[in-house]
Amino acid sequence: MSTESHMRRVTAINNGTVIDHIPAGCAITVLKMLGIDGRRSTPITLAMNVPSKKMGGKDVVKIEDREITQSELDRLALIAPEASVSIIRAYSVAEKLVVNLGVEIIGVARCCFSNCATWGDREPLPHRLKVHSIEPLELRCHYCGRSQDMEAIIDNLL
């Protein structure tokens, strides 16, 4: 079965956003990072552990009546660097976006090091994690220089 037919397994949407190629099991975190919860009145469709040739398994999220922006998508780089986004208008793909990791991730996650100058969330300057290497992804805090524990990054999302 092709990816397309898997996609069709969940309802097609009229207007909104489809986020594909989310690592299996991360869909809920993705929604959380986008500030989307079940209290919205518009439908949200989640498909988890969908077989994927490229990723083995993946999650797919469809959000009706909301178009996510490039900067919102870039926030997802930390947990879903391969995510691809289709903006849907009138049942067809109007725009495609890919995650842009950039050189620095600002204001998305706090430094994991408990003795960092930014610790405690009272300091007003933004958390800044610099992309030290991409493969494997290594991030270092702009302030303290510590290499971030990528396993714990979800716990440190802002």
Partner 1 sequence: MASLITMDDLTNEEIIEVLDNAERLLPVARGETYLPLLEGKILGNLFFEPSTRTRMSFETAMKRLGGEVVNLGDVKTSSVVKGETLFDMIQMVDGYTDIIAMRHPRQGAAQYASDSARVPILNGGDGAGHHPTQTMLDLFTIRQAHGTLEGLNVALVGDLRFGRTVHSLSHALVRFGCTLTFVSPESLSMPDEIISDLKRHGADITETADLSSVIPSADVIYMTRIQKERFPDEDEYARVAGIFKLCAADLSPAKGGMIVMHPLPRVSEISPDVDNTKHARYFEQAFNGVVARMSLLCRLLNVEVPAIISSNGGEN
Binding site for partner 1 (CB under 8 A): 111, 113, 115-119, 122-125, 141-147
SS3 140: strand
Q: Is 111 in the site for Zn ion (CB under 5 A)?
A: yes
Which listed option, partner 1, Zn ion, none, makes contact with residue 148 (CB within 5 to 8 Å by class)?
A: none
Span of 8-16, 28-36, 72-80, 133-141 interacting with Zn ion by CB under 5 A: 133-141
Which neighbouring-strand residues pair with 138? Answer: 133
- The pairing of beta strand 138-141 with beta strand 128-133: antiparallel
Within 8 A by CB and 6+ apart from 141, the residues are: 111, 113, 116, 118, 127, 128, 129, 130, 148
Least distance to Zn ion from the beta carbon of 83, Å?
26
Which residue in 157, 120, 151, 154 sits closest to 136, CA to CA? 151
Which listed option, partner 1, Zn ion, none, makes contact with residue 37 (CB within 5 to 8 Å by class)?
A: none
SS3 29: helix
Which listed option, Zn ion, partner 1, none, makes contact with residue 12 (CB within 5 to 8 Å by class)?
A: none
Q: Which of 116, 131, 137, 157 binds Zn ion (CB under 5 A)?
A: 116
Least distance to partner 1 from the beta carbon of 128, Å?
9
For residue 37 the two structure tokens come to: 């919860």
Q: Which of 12, 94, 125, 144 binds Zn ion (CB under 5 A)?
A: 144
Q: Which residues bind Zn ion (CB under 5 A)?
A: 111, 113, 116, 141, 143-144
